[in-house]
Amino acid sequence: MADKAIGGAIIGGLLGYGLGRAQFQAWEGFINKFNERLGHLSYNHVIEPCEFYDKVENGRKIYAEAVYSFLYGLPDASLQMTFRCLEIGLKRYYENTEGKKCSLKAWELIDWSEKKSGDKKELAHGFRILRNLTHEEKTITEQDSLEAIRHVTQILNIFFPFPTATITVNCGLCRTPSQMSVLPDQLFLGNNIAVPCASCKTSTNYQVMPWY
């Protein structure tokens, strides 16, 4: 009886492992593609637009939806949300600059912004990329979506610059909240930053993502 019980336990364990492995394999391709896309964002050093979050209500949520749509393999949806980030960001910049409520449409805003940008070539290039993407009647590729995120984020950070940002994590050991001031060039999406705990001195990893 004991041998049968042991044998049954082993078989049950193997079956459980097999089922668990099969479930994981069903998600493995999705996880790998997610990490691959995140690697592309990191490689392009897309700096999280922290000041845009502060200046625009729900800016973090809208930007997060643009980024995660790309990471989940939904480039068309990502482009729409990315362009929305640009539009509401430009509206706020217009209101701050002109001192009045904005009534311009999206493309009128872009024309106004290009005139205001002066000789900033990176802005002109970014706007040109977006015009091409949104005017074409074709399915948006992942590369298109990535380019849109990269250029819109750059534009947002030019119009809403920030010298430093503060990140907060709960210590992985003692759960004490700890804060750390970081420079913009450290805040590229996908980057991992070790934050030392003010209490136990243990470092906890903070991954730069548009959490919300």
The whole-number pLDDT of residue 190 equals 95
The whole-number pLDDT of residue 121 equals 66
Q: Tens digit of pLDDT for each residue in 168-177?
A: 999 989 999 9
Tell whether 86 and 130 lie within a shared domain.
yes
Domain count, the chain: 3
C-alpha 10: how far from its chain's center? 44
Tell whether 27 and 108 lie within a shared domain.
no
The yes-or-no verdict on residue 7 having pLDDT over 70 is no
Amino acid letter for position 106 = A
Tell whether 26 and 56 lie within a shared domain.
no
Domain containing 203: what range? 165-207
Q: How far apart are CA 20 and CA 205, in angstroms?
A: 28
Query: Would 173 be classed as within a structural domain?
Result: yes
CB 203 within 8 A of CB 195: yes
The whole-number pLDDT of residue 5 equals 42
Q: Which two tokens stand for residue 167?
A: 């990140």
Q: Cα dihedral sign for 99, 105, 110, 112?
A: negative
Calculate mean pLDDT across residues 34-44: 95
Amino acid letter for position 149 = I
The whole-number pLDDT of residue 20 equals 56
Confidence of residue 2 (pLDDT cuts 50, 70, 90): very low
The whole-number pLDDT of residue 1 equals 43
Query: Would 119 be classed as within a structural domain?
Result: yes
The whole-number pLDDT of residue 42 equals 95
Tell whether 54 and 148 lie within a shared domain.
yes
| Nearest to 187, CA basis, from 212, 155, 162 | 162
The yes-or-no verdict on residue 19 having pLDDT over 90 is no
Tell whether 52 and 39 lie within a shared domain.
no
Tell whether 73 and 56 lie within a shared domain.
yes
Query: Would 212 be classed as within a structural domain?
Result: no
Tell whether 57 and 84 lie within a shared domain.
yes
Confidence of residue 18 (pLDDT cuts 50, 70, 90): low
Tell whether 58 and 92 lie within a shared domain.
yes
Q: Which two tokens stand for residue 53?
A: 């979050």
**Other beta carbons less than 10 A from residue 73's beta carbon:** 14
Q: Tens digit of pLDDT for each residue in 116-147?
A: 776 676 676 677 777 777 766 667 889 989 99
Q: How far apart are CA 89 and CA 50, in angstroms?
A: 12
The yes-or-no verdict on residue 10 having pLDDT over 60 is no
Q: How far apart are CA 75 and CA 148, in angstroms?
A: 10
Q: How far apart are CA 36 and CA 6, in angstroms?
A: 43
| Nearest to 152, CA basis, from 54, 63, 72, 40 | 63
pTM for the whole structure: 0.83
Confidence of residue 4 (pLDDT cuts 50, 70, 90): very low
Q: What does the angle CA 66 – CA 68 – CA 70 come to, to the nearest 5 degrees?
A: 75
Tell whether 114 and 139 lie within a shared domain.
yes
The yes-or-no verdict on residue 38 having pLDDT over 60 is yes
